[in-house]
Structures are given as C-alpha cells and as structure tokens.
Amino acid sequence: MKIKDTVRDLFYYIPNKPNFLEYLSGRENLEMLSLLKGINKQEVNDLIDKFDVSNFIDELFITYSQGMAEQLSFLTGFLFNPHILLLDEPFSSLDILNSIKIKNKLKQYISAGNSTIISTHIMAVAYQLSDEVFLLNNGEIIQFHNNFNNLQEFEKVVLDFLKRPEQS
C-alpha cells in the first residue's frame, strides 16, 4: 500500500442497484470517473476490451438493463482497483455467462492480494467467493472459515445456525 492511499482509495462499493449518469454512455461514465482518479483513457479502453462489453458500452446508461448496469458497476470497481471491494448482493441481475465471467475476475482480484466483503443471501455465492464467513441472525453473529468440501456441507452449517432457537 502506498503512503498516499486514502481510506476512500482503499474501498470501492458495488451496490445492488448501481446508478450512473443516465444521459452518458457507459464508456463516458467510465471516462468521467477515471478523470477523477487520474486514470488514463487507455486503461478504460483496455478494461472494456477485457470484459467484452462492446455490445452495449456506447449506449446511453438510461437504456441499460439491470444486468448491464451491474456489469458497468463491476467495471468501475476493477478500474479503480481498490484493496477492498464491497459487494451488495452481487450477481443478482447477471445472466449465467456474465456471472461466471465476473466471479473469475473476482477470484483473480483476490489472488492478487485484494479482498472482498460480500453481503448476500445466496449461499452458493458465499461458498464460492469467501474464505471467512460471518452470519448475522437475530442480532447474533458467528464467524467460520470456509474450508468445506462442497456446497452442501457449507449450507448445513449455515442452516443449523439459522434454525437455532433465539438466545434470551
């Protein structure tokens, strides 16, 4: 981490329902945001090529489906390259192919020494992308390491916790 990093540079939040400037294209939104971060236009174009979003990136954001908006939000997060990505219900609007593509990019991002914090109700997402899991139920939190052999083992631990009677 560089000395000049600020807390704002350490994190990037990818919301469940992303919002960008409606009457700019996805590319124009990325270029405008990149100017604020001192990122050059070539990096924006390289990222667009890498994610293969050329079929919609030059359309106005107002015409985007929820899945396209979610992809643009992920592109912004990867463009800013923070140390920690905060993800709120990721993949909720992505089709199967784009979900797989983004999950693979997230795994590369994590293997490069970065982290993600994911808020999700989908156990398969937590199982596939988490090393440490925190569950919140009725004000109680448990933490466990994700070292399960399969999704069914993971789900059993989660369900056992959620089905426990409330502690008084």
User: What is the tens place of the pLDDT at every residue in 132-160?
Assistant: 988 888 888 888 888 999 999 999 988 88
The residue with tokens 């009457």 is 23
What distance lies between CA 138 and its chain's CA centroid?
A: 26
Alpha-carbon gap, residue 69 to 65, rounded angstroms: 6
Residues 20 and 98 in one domain: yes
The residue with tokens 């992308």 is 129
Nearest CA among 76, 97, 59 for reference residue 18: 76
Residues 94 and 163 in one domain: no
Residues 113 and 152 in one domain: no
Provide the pLDDT for residue 113: 93
Alpha-carbon gap, residue 68 to 73, rounded angstroms: 9
Domain count along the chain: 2
Evaluate whether residue 106 is within a structural domain.
yes
Residues 15 and 86 in one domain: yes
Evaluate whether residue 168 is within a structural domain.
yes
What DSSP letter does each residue of 110-146 carry, written as one string? HHTT-EEEEE-S-HHHHHHH-SEEEEEETTEEEEEE-
Evaluate whether residue 143 is within a structural domain.
yes
Evaluate whether residue 5 is within a structural domain.
no
Alpha-carbon gap, residue 57 to 133, rounded angstroms: 34
pLDDT band at 5 (very low <50, low <70, confident <90, very high): low
Residues 144 and 100 in one domain: no
Residues 18 and 40 in one domain: yes
Residues 29 and 85 in one domain: yes
N- to C-terminal Cα distance for the chain? 44
Average confidence (pLDDT) over 80-97:
92
Residues 115 and 138 in one domain: no
Query: Which structural domain range is residue 98 located in?
Result: 10-121
Residues 21 and 98 in one domain: yes
- 34: CATH: 3.40.50.300
Evaluate whether residue 70 is within a structural domain.
yes
Integer angstrom CA distances of residue 60 from 31, 74, 78, 127, 128: 14, 17, 21, 35, 33
pLDDT above 70 covers a percentage of the chain that reads: 95
